[in-house]
Amino acid sequence: MPRMTLLCLLVVMPLLGCHRTTFEDSVLSKPAVRYRIGTLPAYWKQVWLEDNDLAFAEEGTGRALSVNATCKGHDDPSLEVLTRHLLAGFTDRQALAEQRIPMDGREALRSRYLARMDGVPVRLELVVLKKDNCVFDFTYVSPPGLADARMADFDALLAGFHLERKG
């Protein structure tokens, strides 16, 4: 029986290890994709945020960053449609700016909004990118008036983005 247990461990454990999500040295790996983001200063602490690969918050400020990749089940929507999906749950949305930017060899859409989340005013900086059949979204949420102080951090996160491999 011990030989069978050992055999099971040798065969099954590597298979289980292939399906987990890891984040190390600014690289996120999950079954469908592996990508790098720019390094953030130490005051950004990694937190868990449902439906996101990565999320970071700056304690006591109301600022948060999130990153997510979806590589299945998204058809081929436009960057504008993908941006509207990110706005779900926000009310009183007011578009402030929108521009197409180069990102990892592709064109991404960067948008800025003022909105409300559960009645609380927020400023949103959103970036959506489609690459190699994956959709990547990047979100920076901040209280209005406090966003600019950490915008360079969000810009660095974006500048360091690179799709290392598709699942």
Q: Distance between CA atoms of 33 and 78, rounded to whole angstroms?
A: 21
In a domain, 17, yes or no: no
| Domain residue limits at 59 | 23-163
Q: What pLDDT digit, counting tens, does each position of 13-41 carry?
A: 333 444 588 999 999 999 889 999 999 99
Three-state SS sequence of 69-124: EECCCCCCCCHHHHHHHHCCCCEEEEEEEEEEEEECCEEEEEEEEEEEECCEEEEE
CATH code at position 137? 3.40.1000.10
Paired tokens of 155: 């810009």
In a domain, 3, yes or no: no
The better pLDDT of the pair 128, 12 is held by 128
| pLDDT value at residue 19 | 52
The better pLDDT of the pair 62, 7 is held by 62
Give the mean model confidence (pLDDT) for residues 91-109: 97
In a domain, 67, yes or no: yes
| pLDDT value at residue 50 | 83
Taking 60 as the threshold, does the pLDDT of residue 12 lie above it? Answer: no
Give the mean model confidence (pLDDT) for residues 102-122: 97
Taking 90 as the threshold, does the pLDDT of residue 74 lie above it? Answer: no
Taking 90 as the threshold, does the pLDDT of residue 7 lie above it? Answer: no
| pLDDT value at residue 4 | 36
Give the mean model confidence (pLDDT) for residues 71-78: 83
In a domain, 14, yes or no: no
| pLDDT value at residue 5 | 33
**Do the beta carbons of residue 70 and residue 90 sit within 8 Å?**
no
CA-based end-to-end distance of the chain? 36
SS3 state at 53? coil
Return the sign of the alpha-carbon dihedral for residues 14, 18, 156, 41: negative
| pLDDT value at residue 21 | 86
Domains of the chain: total: 1
| pLDDT value at residue 17 | 41
In a domain, 18, yes or no: no
* Closest residue by Cα to residue 84 from 48, 113, 121, 116: 113
Taking 80 as the threshold, does the pLDDT of residue 155 lie above it? Answer: yes
Q: What pLDDT digit, counting tens, does each position of 117-140 carry?
A: 999 999 999 999 999 989 999 999
| pLDDT value at residue 47 | 95
Q: How far is the CA of 85 from the CAs of 23, 50, 58, in angstroms?
A: 25, 15, 25
Which residues are CB-contacts of 91 (< 8 A; sequence separation ≥ 6)?
A: 115, 116, 117, 119
Return the sign of the alpha-carbon dihedral for residues 46, 50, 54, 60: negative
